[in-house]
């Protein structure tokens, strides 16, 4: 009787919600002093435990060009897992109130690992 979240929302709705979460996450990173390549490092710190690969590796696996958005090639479950990990990381970053790239890489990695640990099956 209870529908799965991925069935209750269309892929387009999941993608739209994911864009909002991503914008909030990158805003939080910026507000806490993350600069330049630090944004990519934080993203990869989340993706590696969730999907077993970095953004560029995942794009290669999906046959996407380098300028494409990886999330356009993700399933609904992958979009939700990515968004959830970014929400968790953003909340931890705000709570810790550290500054700069290095502390946040670790926070993002831990958040990706924690969300990955909650999943029954591995994504990708």
Distance CA(110)–CA(9), nearest Å, equals: 28
Q: At which residue do the structure tokens 């090639």 appear?
A: 73
Total residue count of the chain as it appears in this document: 124
What gap in Å lies between CA 71 and CA 15, rounded to an integer? 8
Identify the residue with better confidence: 103 or 81.
Answer: 81
Q: What are the boundaries of each domain within the chain?
A: 34-118
- Identify the pLDDT of residue 27: 96
Looking at residue 66, the DSSP 8-state letter turns out to be T
Determine the pLDDT at residue 7. Answer: 58
How many whole angstroms separate alpha carbon 63 and alpha carbon 57? 10
Nearest to 4 by CA among 75, 86, 71, 74: 75
Structure confidence by residue, pLDDT tens digits, 53-92: 999 999 999 999 999 999 999 999 999 999 999 999 999 9
Q: What is the dihedral of CA 80, 82, 84, 85, to 10 degrees?
A: 160
Q: Helices (DSSP H) in the chain: which residue ranges?
A: 5-8, 11-31, 38-51, 55-62, 76-96, 101-118
């Amino acid at each position: 009787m209870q529908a799965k979240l991925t069935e209750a929302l269309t892929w387009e709705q999941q993608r739209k919600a994911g864009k909002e979460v991503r914008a909030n996450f990158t805003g939080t990173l910026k507000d806490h002093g993350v600069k330049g390549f630090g944004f990519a490092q934080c993203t990869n710190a989340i993706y590696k435990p969730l999907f077993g690969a970095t953004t560029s590796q995942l794009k290669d696996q999906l046959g996407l060009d380098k300028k494409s958005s990886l999330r356009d090639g993700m399933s609904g479950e992958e979009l939700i897992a990515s968004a959830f990990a970014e929400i968790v990381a953003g909340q931890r970053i705000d709570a810790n109130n550290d500054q700069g790239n290095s502390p946040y890489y670790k926070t993002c990695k831990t958040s990706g690992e924690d969300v990955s640990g909650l999943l029954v099956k591995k994504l990708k």
